Structure 1
Amino acid sequence: MPNILAIGFDPYTIPGFDPAPVAAGIEQGSKAFAELGMTQDLVLIDFAELDGRAQAKIVERLKQKQYDAVLVGGGIRKGTGLLELFQTVVNLVHWHQPDAAIAFNDSPADSPDWALKALEQRRRR
């Protein structure tokens, strides 16, 4: 049973943003992980904590157990002005989970598909 860690923003903390579609996508993705026999842990970053608190929260979770794949959510990757955070998150995953596949999603609902693709790529290396 693969262990997956998904890292993204808590949609309820993003100013001027309707959280409902993203929250529904997270729920849908979580159900799909379970249906595929994968365990999923979530680290949802508070948008107001883009300083060292977000990084500390991520590192704490990365140190808790070994993950087969770590998925970095699209909000972190695509958000305007968030390139430094994205780079930091990828490096934290690389440093603290060097054997984990790294995956990126297009939406929370398609996270399981991208995690599976990353796991397959890791198996072929």
Structure 2
Amino acid sequence: MTTTPKVLVIGLDPHRIPGPFDPAPVDAAIEAATASFRDRGIEAHDCLVGLDGADDVPTVVTTLQSHPWDCVLIGAGIRRNEELLPLFEQLLNLVHQHAPTAKLALNQGLNDIAEATFRHLPS
């Protein structure tokens, strides 16, 4: 009996980014990744965090504890911004603590969210 792979995508919530920012491209990329996961029979969940960080740690911890994750992706929007390095480190440590057997995936941008996780899942 095979189990459905479970993927968690942790990224920035495009609706919680201050300033003049259009969330539509990020929303579209999340929808496209969700469709790719669904097409491959992968159960995927998004855990979107804001830049204010007020409620994000408990949400991330609860989400990490909710399933045995096969792969966790931390989005490029968090990793590629030097100002968010402390958040990236915090997320890495939370994944390490609460999902120690999950593979870690890192995407390059909005267009390879699903593909980055596929590298770490059985085909």
Cα distance in structure 2, aligned partners of 1:63 and 1:27 = 24
Tell whether the 8 Å contact from 1:25 to 1:107 is kept in structure 2 after alignment. no
Report how far residue 25 of structure 1 moved.
Answer: 0.5
Deviations for 1:47-93, whole angstroms, at most 9, x for unmatched residues?
A: 22x24x21111001011110100010111111241001001101110
- In the alignment, what sits opposite 1:9? 12
SS at match of 2:118: helix
Residue type matched to 1:89 in 2? L
Which runs of 5 or more structure 1 residues have no equivalent in the other structure? 121-125
Deviations for 1:9-68, whole angstroms, at most 9, x for unmatched residues?
A: 1101111211111110010011001011111011011222x24x2111100101111010
TM (normalized to structure 2)? 0.89
Cα distance in structure 2, aligned partners of 1:71 and 1:22 = 15
SS at match of 1:67: coil
SS at match of 1:82: helix
Cα distance in structure 2, aligned partners of 1:71 and 1:44 = 12
Q: Among 35, 38, 61, which residue is 1:34 paired with? A: 38
Residues 66-81 of structure 1: matches in 2 within 5 Å?
66-81=68-83
Q: Does 1:56 align with 2:51?
A: no
Stretches (4+) displaced over 3 A: none
Cα distance in structure 2, aligned partners of 1:84 and 1:24 = 27
| Superposition CA RMSD, Å | 1.3
- In the alignment, what sits opposite 1:23? 27
TM (normalized to structure 1)? 0.88
- In the alignment, what sits opposite 2:98? 96
